């Protein structure tokens, strides 16, 4: 009976943590999507001749460094990873 009461008391807290984690993962996914969409746009610009391959590679490097920084922040915030 005590275990059941403890579980009932913890359920809202667990639900809140679970929803927060889901929100975090959603934001991570959106950030990754944003990086990928920018990469696709640059590749399309290279293919159409609007920008040079060198410009594309420089921008890709910048985007990769930004993505690495985002991932490092996530790893630092979550020691389980």
Output the tens digit of pLDDT for each of the chain's 81 residues. Answer: 555 455 556 666 667 767 777 777 888 888 888 888 988 998 999 999 999 999 989 988 998 898 888 888 878 876 655
Measure the CA angle with vertex 67, ends 45 and 63; round to 5°.
30
- The whole domain housing 30 covers 2-77
Q: How many domains does the chain have?
A: 1
Write out the two tokens for 77. 């915030």
Q: Spell out the residues 6+ positions from residue 28 whose beta carbon is closer than 8 angstroms to its own.
A: 70, 74
Q: What is the pTM of this model?
A: 0.56
């Amino acid at each position: 009976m005590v275990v059941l009461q403890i579980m009932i008391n913890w359920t809202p807290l667990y639900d809140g943590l679970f929803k927060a984690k889901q929100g975090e993962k959603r934001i991570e996914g959106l950030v990754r999507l944003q990086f990928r969409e920018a990469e696709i746009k640059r590749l399309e610009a290279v293919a159409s001749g609007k920008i040079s391959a060198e410009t594309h590679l420089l921008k890709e490097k910048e985007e990769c460094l930004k993505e690495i920084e985002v991932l490092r922040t996530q790893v630092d915030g979550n020691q389980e990873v």
